[in-house]
Amino acid sequence: MSSARKTLELLSFFSTARPEIGLSQLCRIAGRDKATTYRHLQALETAGFVEQNPVTRQYRLGPAVMQLAQVREATVPRKASAQLPMTQLADVTGETAHVSVLSGNTLYALASCESPKHGTRAVIDITTFPLHATASGICALAFGPEQLFKSATARMTPYTANTPVTPDAVARLVEDARATGFARSDRSFEAEIHSLSAPIYDQTGLFAGAVSVACVASRFTPALEHDIKTQLVTASRDITRNWGGALPPEIETAWASSLAPAQTLDIAK
């Protein structure tokens, strides 16, 4: 791994759940020595990508990150055009909805919305989604570029007892996603969370990300699964349209087949 990549990778450890990180804590998280981590932080601080809280002396994201985020959204609009369908998805299903975007071999969290219907609900507090262990990741493997599978299976961290840890196990999940149009994560990333995802496409005609619903596993029933899948179809269509894309006919066909006979969907609205 290059020095530049190691330096920039430190930014990925910050999140809404962990907005500030001290030097020693960051060393433990990144698995690096103190001198190297401090040198990388100094480079990021000089460029404005991180700053030190003058009170706690811990590091937090700097103003340069905000500036780049604004440029990204202005030139490649994603978050704003996904917000309404995602919010509606959370409202109707009563569960947490979220959207992710693919860049290279990494699936990044774009936005999330928690439904107030339940006191206990899924919280999306990660910046990137493990491809082998999340519904969003399986969705990317099923409908994204072929090289993702090699990247996903190169290092399969066992997050829970249900995490697939062999290429064959991941391949079976990918095959099911392609057949049904929906990817699934059954307590494989978090022990109490069951998730479903549907693909999103953009103006390139290629897979661009996933829209997902994360549900507390104890609430997950066949009836709720059907409702979530039905609403995911609507959200995927809306976000894909907003991103200038079109859903491949085979996705619409897979949805209609997997949801029939309980509900007949209009193909390619």
- Angle between helix 249-259 and 167-180 (nearest 10): 90
Q: By three-state DSSP, how is residue 69 classified? A: helix
CATH of 76-259, one of 2.40.128.690, 3.40.50.300, 3.40.80.10, 3.30.450.40: 3.30.450.40
The two structure tokens encoding residue 181: 């149009």
> Is residue 1 over pLDDT 80?
no
Per residue in 231-269, pLDDT (tens digit) is: 999 999 999 999 999 999 999 999 999 998 644 444 444
Q: Whose CA is closest to 163, among 183, 182, 185?
A: 185
Long-range Cβ contact pairs of 123-131 (< 8 A, separation 24 or more): 123/17, 123/96, 124/96, 124/98, 124/214, 125/15, 125/16, 125/17, 125/18, 126/15, 127/12, 127/14, 127/15, 128/12, 129/100, 130/157, 130/159, 130/189, 131/107
What number is the average pLDDT over the span 35-57? 91
pTM of the model: 0.78
Q: 85-128: per-residue pLDDT in tens?
A: 999 999 999 999 999 999 999 999 999 999 988 888 888 888 89
Angle, alpha carbons 217-222-128 (nearest 5°): 45
Q: Report strand pairing: 193-201 vs 207-216.
A: antiparallel
Every domain of the chain with CATH number 3.30.450.40 lies at 76-259
- What pLDDT, on a 0 to 100 scale, did the predictor assign at position 13? 87
Q: Which CATH fold would you assign to the domain 3-68?
A: Arc Repressor Mutant, subunit A (1.10.10)
Which part of the chain is CATH 1.10.10.10?
Answer: 3-68
* Dihedrals phi, psi of 37, to nearest 5 degrees: -65, -45
Reported as a single tens digit per residue, the pLDDT across 55-70 is: 899 999 888 887 887 7
* pLDDT per residue as tens digits for the range 164-193: 999 999 999 999 999 999 999 999 999 999
Q: In what order do the strands lie in the sheet with 96-103?
A: 106-113, 96-103, 207-216, 193-201, 183-186
pLDDT, greater one: 211 or 68 = 211
147-154 and 167-180 are packed helices; what angle lies between their axes, rounded to 10 degrees?
140
Mean pLDDT across the chain:
91
Among 45-49, 75-79, 246-250, name the one with the lowest average pLDDT: 75-79
